[in-house]
Amino acid sequence: MRFQAVRIDTPSEWARRASNWARRPHTLALVPAVSLLAYFWGGELWLVASVVALQSVWLIVATRDDRRPSEPRRAPCRPVPRETVEATLNEGSGGALTSAALLLRLDDFDTLTAHHGELFIGALAEALTLRLGQGLRTQDAYCVLSDAKFAIALAPLRGTAVETVLAVAQRLQADLAKPFRYSGVTVWPSVSVGICLNPATARAAGLGMIEAAERAARIALNSGPGGVHSFSATDTAAPSAPALRAELRRALDNGEICAFFQPQVELASGAVSGMETLARWLHPERGLIPPAEFLPLIEAEGLSTRLAERMLRDGLATLNRLDAQGLVVPNVAVNLSAPELGNPQLADTIAWELDRHDLAPERLVLEIVETVVTHTDDDVLVKNVARLAALGCGIDLDDFGTGHASIANIRRFAVSRVKIDRSFVTHMHRDPDQRRMVAAILSMTGELGLQCVAEGIEAPEEASLLAKMGCEHGQGFGIARPMPATDLARWLRTQAAIRAGTGAAAIAEGERG
């Protein structure tokens, strides 16, 4: 014989059920119904009073909030000295508990400082520090390093998993990526994150966990803004500046420092409209060295002219090879800084290189940063740009909106296109202030008869909005990342097949050809 337990509700359980039933929205409709019933019944005074009292209790029960009061918001985690962060990491360096080191570095620190000044970057660093403190747990520790970098020690946990640390890193990136407004300027900061999970791996490379995480953050930046990288045994310590200086000339001569190419497209049609050369150092032992590490040394060693010559030759040679393969790229853009533009032989050298590679002058675009146009009084520089424009080369004004170039200077330098700086393009589909700034630039350039190239496009919504607003060209990671010349032909064939709707068969045929 089977017996089934019978549940007997206690009085408190009956009260809880009655309270829950009374809170249902439809039961409140019975309140006026009971009032009307008592009115039409015409009962004694005691009956009416009882009904009113019953309704009062009913309403109190229905509207009562039994939820516990919300806990007060915890105080943000405060930055501590670096020694405290290292001590937290050492606590988790052995045994069952393990810790993890994270290093967050602000992308485009130098550019933001140059464009907006020390006060702006100081206010931004302070805001990021506060956001980071609100995003970390009280048992975590973090410190502020130079150049808007932050070292973090996650509190020791039992078996820290890679997935858990990656989730923390991505959450912190999202917290720090919210828009920052200061003195009428809005930026959408992004940070690259380096992670070190294993202190033994860091020690084997002669590094502490923070130094290893910093090395990983530099590697993360190679993949673009907002990258994440975890330090491993293959990530050797970053080379010192003296070691890099000793190798720069050799790297320029033997082709280790070479041009990568970032395609530019017509935003309305998606057709390739050009490509920009970007310097990259492919070290035989250390791998890809970030431009931020070697470009300042190039300038300090007085090698900017040699680098520009390498970019020019690589760009024209690649354009010539693409023509031979039947892959049409209208032009290649090469960046020229003030030292190159001040070379009296520049125009003659470029004319000779164009002739040597059998290319028309209009196939070459020369990019000049807006700060050069704004501040120069060098007659040689002005004459060089005028000669190159007369030769037929295109002149692009780079980083527009950051150097306060006047309309007179735009005309003076025969600018044919303006490149809208990525700081205005980033998140413009979400930020009305960004859209208004871009609209103002497009309106002005349209009145001057100039075309625009939007830099730093990372989202399809940005490209679509720019096209609707009348921006002719665009480039950015959302379109294509910089790539070596060997990968460029494959990318062009793929894009041509996609636009033609011929699919993978056409791509495979192009590869065989």
β-pairing, 332-336 vs 364-369, is parallel
Partnered with residue 146 across adjacent β-strands are none
In this predicted structure, the answer to whether residue 289 has a pLDDT above a threshold of 90 is no
Nearest Cα to 334, choosing from 249, 393, 288, 400? 393
| Rounded alpha-carbon distances, angstroms, from residue 23 to 14, 33, 395 | 14, 16, 72
Which active-site residues does the annotation give? Answer: 455
Helix, strand, coil shares, percent, the chain, to 5: 50, 20, 30
Beta strands in 252-372 (DSSP E): 257-266, 272-283, 287-289, 332-336, 364-369
Q: How far apart are CA 366 and CA 334, in angstroms?
A: 5
pLDDT the model gives residue 117: 84
Average pLDDT over residues 398-403: 70
| Rounded alpha-carbon distances, angstroms, from residue 316 to 60, 204, 340 | 82, 44, 17
In this predicted structure, the answer to whether residue 259 has a pLDDT above a threshold of 90 is yes
What lies within 8 Å, CB to CB, of 238 at 6+ separation is 215, 218, 293
pLDDT the model gives residue 96: 61
Contact 428, 478 (CB under 8 A): no
Average pLDDT over residues 451-470: 93
- 82-230 carries CATH number 3.30.70.270: yes
Which pair of tokens denotes residue 368? 């000049």
Buried-exposed string 231-267: b where 16+ CB fall within 10 A, e elsewhere = beeebeebbeeeebbebbeebbeeebbbbbbbbbbbb
In this predicted structure, the answer to whether residue 472 has a pLDDT above a threshold of 90 is yes
Domain boundaries 241-512, corresponding CATH code: 3.20.20.450
Most confident of 4-8, 308-312, 383-387: 308-312
- Dump pLDDT digits (tens) for 317-333: 999 999 999 998 999 99
The dihedral formed by the CA atoms of 113, 115, 116 and 122, expressed in degrees to the nearest 10: -10
Run of H or E residues at 156: strand 149-158
What's the angle, vertex CA 144, arms to CA 141 and CA 150, rounded to 5?
A: 75
pLDDT the model gives residue 265: 95
In this predicted structure, the answer to whether residue 504 has a pLDDT above a threshold of 50 is no
- How does DSSP assign 85-147, residue by residue? HHHHHHHTSSSSEEEEEEEEEETTHHHHHHHH-HHHHHHHHHHHHHHHHHHS-TT-EEEEETT
pLDDT the model gives residue 470: 94
Least confident of 195-199, 224-228, 335-339: 224-228
Question: Which amino acid type is present at position 480?
Answer: A
What's the angle, vertex CA 468, arms to CA 465 and CA 472, rounded to 5?
A: 100
Give 230's pLDDT tier (boundaries 50, 70, 90): confident
In this predicted structure, the answer to whether residue 266 has a pLDDT above a threshold of 70 is yes
pLDDT the model gives residue 491: 95
pLDDT the model gives residue 233: 65
In this predicted structure, the answer to whether residue 401 has a pLDDT above a threshold of 90 is no
Mean pLDDT across the chain, nearest whole number?
A: 81
Q: What is the percent of the chain where pLDDT is above 90?
A: 36
- Dump pLDDT digits (tens) for 94-112: 556 678 899 999 988 888 8
In this predicted structure, the answer to whether residue 159 has a pLDDT above a threshold of 80 is no
The CA-to-CA distance between both ends of the chain, in Å, stands at 84
pLDDT the model gives residue 37: 60
In this predicted structure, the answer to whether residue 375 has a pLDDT above a threshold of 70 is no
Q: How far apart are CA 416 and CA 395, in angstroms?
A: 5
Backbone angles phi, psi at 342, to 5 degrees: -85, 0
Identify which has the larger pLDDT, 255 or 475.
Answer: 475
Give 20's pLDDT tier (boundaries 50, 70, 90): low
In this predicted structure, the answer to whether residue 2 has a pLDDT above a threshold of 60 is no
Q: How far apart are CA 54 and CA 18, in angstroms?
A: 14
pLDDT the model gives residue 3: 38
Average pLDDT over residues 380-387: 85
Average pLDDT over residues 45-60: 61
Query: Is the pTM above the cut of 0.85?
Result: no
Contact 399, 371 (CB under 8 A): yes
With H, G, I as helix, E, B as strand and everything else as coil, classify residue 244.
helix
pLDDT the model gives residue 438: 93
In this predicted structure, the answer to whether residue 61 has a pLDDT above a threshold of 60 is no
Confirm whether 82-230 and 241-512 share one CATH topology: no
Partnered with residue 279 across adjacent β-strands are 259
Most confident of 45-49, 156-160, 342-346, 353-357: 353-357
Give 36's pLDDT tier (boundaries 50, 70, 90): low
Partnered with residue 229 across adjacent β-strands are 194
Q: How far apart are CA 99 and CA 122, in angstroms?
A: 30
Give 512's pLDDT tier (boundaries 50, 70, 90): very low
Q: How far apart are CA 56 and CA 61, in angstroms?
A: 9
Q: How far apart are CA 105 and CA 219, in angstroms?
A: 11
In this predicted structure, the answer to whether residue 64 has a pLDDT above a threshold of 70 is no
Tell me the domain boundaries of the chain.
15-57, 82-230, 241-512
Identify which has the larger pLDDT, 507 or 161.
Answer: 161
Partnered with residue 335 across adjacent β-strands are 367
Contact 237, 293 (CB under 8 A): no
pLDDT the model gives residue 326: 93
Q: How far apart are CA 206 and CA 202, in angstroms?
A: 6
Question: Which amino acid type is present at position 371?
Answer: T
